[in-house]
Amino acid sequence: MTVAMKVEASADRIQARKRGARAGQRWGNALFILPFLVVYLLMLVIPLFKGIWISLLEVDMLSNSADFVGLDNYVELFSDEIFIGAVLNTFYFVLISTPVFIALGLALALALNRPGRTGATLRAIFFGSSVLSVTIVTLVWKLVLMPHHGMLANITESVGLPSLSLLTSETWALPTIAVVTVWWIIGLPMMLFLAALQQIPREIYEAAALDNASRWRTLWSITLPSIRRTVALVAIIEVILQFQLFGQAQLMTQGGPNNSSRPIVQFIYEAGFRNWELGYAAAASQVLFAMMLVAMAFQVWLSSRKQAY
Amino acid sequence: MTGINLRGIDKRYGSVDVINNFELQINPGEFLVFLGPSGCGKSTLMRMIAGLEEVSAGEIHVAGRDVTHLAPGARDIAMVFQHYALYPHMTVYDNMAFGLRNVGVPRDEIDRRVQEAARMLELVPLLERKPVEMSGGQRQRVAIGRAVVKEPLAFLFDEPLSNLDAALRGRTRIELARLHQRLKTTMIFVTHDQVEAMTLATRIVVMNAGRIEQLGRPMEIYHRPATRFVAGFIGSPAMNFLDVDRIEAPNGFVAVRLPDGTTVQTSVPAAGLPTQSKLTLGVRPEALSIGAAEESDVLVGNAEVVERLGDQTFAHIALRNGELVIVQAGADSTISVGDLVGVRLDHSAVHLFDQSGIAYHAQARSVA
Ligand SMILES: Nc1ncnc2c1ncn2[C@@H]1O[C@H](COP(=O)(O)OP(=O)(O)OP(=O)(O)O)[C@@H](O)[C@H]1O
Ligand SMILES: [Mg+2]
């Protein structure tokens, strides 16, 4: 009996020692991610909490003082018509641009997923515009859309239609910005889709051909299910990016006409850097952050549900 | 004409001629095996029959119908790929049903065929699984099942067993043989494994560099290889080749002198053999046996390597002129490395090859 207990006890000790050794090793491994953690903390986590803190203050930049005002900034925000308008504009913009990024990006990828020089050239052209800066893109498009003398005006005039001025129309200003944005950065979704398409083994398509699958059937039953994760990825990336719409709106419409194209980031910019209401701007930033978080959570949930099927 | 008929098939990739004027008649119900070294064009040929690759010239007829320019799905042919090519996001059931749904087979007929194939291939418990949730062997069975449910005119298999481990390969080979007995459908099978070819085939096509080296029944190819290439390719360990000189023999059969001076009287008839004096003697390890070095008419050499496989022993003997021959000794052979031995030669089982590689066989050998 005692012998048995001793044996058991020593076995326990050995086990404990083993466990300890393993745990020590694990802490050693953590060193490898330390540089990342430090940067992550300094550059992301701390500013995030600092931002939340500032949003609870009434900051006076001139006297360099700040008073704690609780949720006053938020209350004020939600009764600010311009802010509510900016929120709706941003949602509207994300809602019209993200599906286009997915559909058009996928269509381009499908069309250009072929060997040979033509495909490579077209891929380079479509991706090329992504490297331009927003100032150049908006400048080019302002020239295109210029009333009376722009390219679009010339075209509509030559076929006898009245001259359109899209950027000064409350209905069309934001969709036009969406078109410009898609034109500008459609390259990234296209490349992501191309990479995903090239991962699909050729043999599967050959099996489908032997299985009498039509082109649509192949697209629907073979290609799309195979790139489901990439569709989700592109959707998430685009939602994150397009919620942050700023440069195009600032440079093409300045948020007008009648605030119809002002996105949240522009609102934040104006509040913080024009009116110097730092607490107010920080509060608006937190709202944007919360909106993006909710949208992302919804998408992750949606795509995980599809995958479980 | 039923079966599959390949007429003057050419295949070029750019300027590279992969297959040139290929002619072959595949009989209905036959299990035909394409055997050949890597890169000889087996897959290309198979893919042209399936319609996955265009022919550069020539015609393909399946069951009397010209399918040369038909889409793969319209040829009534099923193919099993080396890497299975299952649809990864579909269940086993859907993988098998996909092709049938595409051509509008009624739902209950699909179910009947899938269930029957699943029973035959022991896939019933796996029907709701996805390919990632299965082992390689199970996936291969699904791939076979997907072909079977189509009830095609012919099955094409492109090295279907090469991704399986040795034991599973053996078992699947037997399953395939049973499947063929049961369905009696034409099967065309590509491999570079000669054991698969020998055991499965009703006829073997030995290919080399896009040409047919020999077409025949397995034992015929083993015993009467048409060329030196076939002789060297079939059989493991490979046939021994020795350069010999033809010498005068009065009895109507060829006699040759080996490099070490030994003369060998073969049973190869002299008639029909070209008169050139340089020949190659081919002899399989099992036609050689170990004797004492002092015997007459033996090749003398030292044992360099002895491989004991349990049921048999292979001795690698370095002859006096440095050439190495492999001899199949009995399981209980006591030969050991370094021994000086004599190698006896079964004169009735030797082959001679002329300078262009054409084979001439000993007369006594009957074709099994
Ligand atoms: N798409 C292609 N373009 C150019 N050459 C090709 C192409 N496909 C195959 N080939 C060439 O055709 C020849 C035959 O190829 P194939 O795949 O039919 O060989 P194989 O007999 O199946 O070989 P393995 O046993 O290795 O599978 C090879 O020399 C190969 O390099
Ligand atoms: Mg091959």
Position B368 confidence tier, pLDDT thresholds 50, 70, 90: very low
- Please report the pLDDT score of residue B322 as a whole number: 84
For residue A217, list chain B residues with Cβ-Cβ distance below 8 A: 102
Determine the residue type at B256: V
Position A15 confidence tier, pLDDT thresholds 50, 70, 90: low
Whose tokens are 């006297």? That residue is A63
What span, in angstroms and rounded, lies between the C-alpha atoms of B362 and A22? 71
Average pLDDT of every residue of chain A: 86
Sheet of B359-361, strands arranged across: B263-269, B253-257, B240-247, B278-283, B350-353, B359-361
- Please report the pLDDT score of residue B296 as a whole number: 78
What span, in angstroms and rounded, lies between the C-alpha atoms of B216 and B201? 10
Mode of pairing for the β-strands spanning B57-62 and B65-66: antiparallel
For residue B78, list chain A residues with Cβ-Cβ distance below 8 A: 210
- Please report the pLDDT score of residue A158 as a whole number: 84
**C-beta atoms of A204 and B103 within 8 A:** no
What is the mean pLDDT of the segment spanning B250-266? 85
At A172-216, the pLDDT tens digits run: 899 999 999 999 999 999 999 999 999 999 999 999 999 999 999
Q: What is the pTM of this model?
A: 0.80
What is the mean pLDDT of the segment spanning A131-149? 89
Give the 3-state secondary structure of residue B161: coil
**Under 8 Å between Cβ of A69 and A54:** no
Ligand 2 centre distance from Cα of residue B37 (Å): 9
At A80-108, the pLDDT tens digits run: 889 999 999 999 999 999 999 999 999 99
What is the mean pLDDT of the segment spanning B109-127? 93
Tokens of B169: 């390969």
Give the 3-state secondary structure of residue B315: strand
Highest mean pLDDT among A13-22, A143-152, B285-294: B285-294
- Inform me whether the C-beta atom of residue B78 falls under 8 Å from chain A C-beta atoms: yes
Give the 3-state secondary structure of residue B83: coil
Nearest ligand to residue B41 Cα: 1
**C-beta atoms of B81 and A207 within 8 A:** yes
Average pLDDT of every residue of chain B: 90
- Please report the pLDDT score of residue B365 as a whole number: 44
- Inform me whether the C-beta atom of residue B71 falls under 8 Å from chain A C-beta atoms: yes
**C-beta atoms of A221 and B79 within 8 A:** no
Determine the residue type at B80: V
Beta bridge partners of A104: none
Q: Is residue B92 predicted with pLDDT exceeding 90?
A: yes
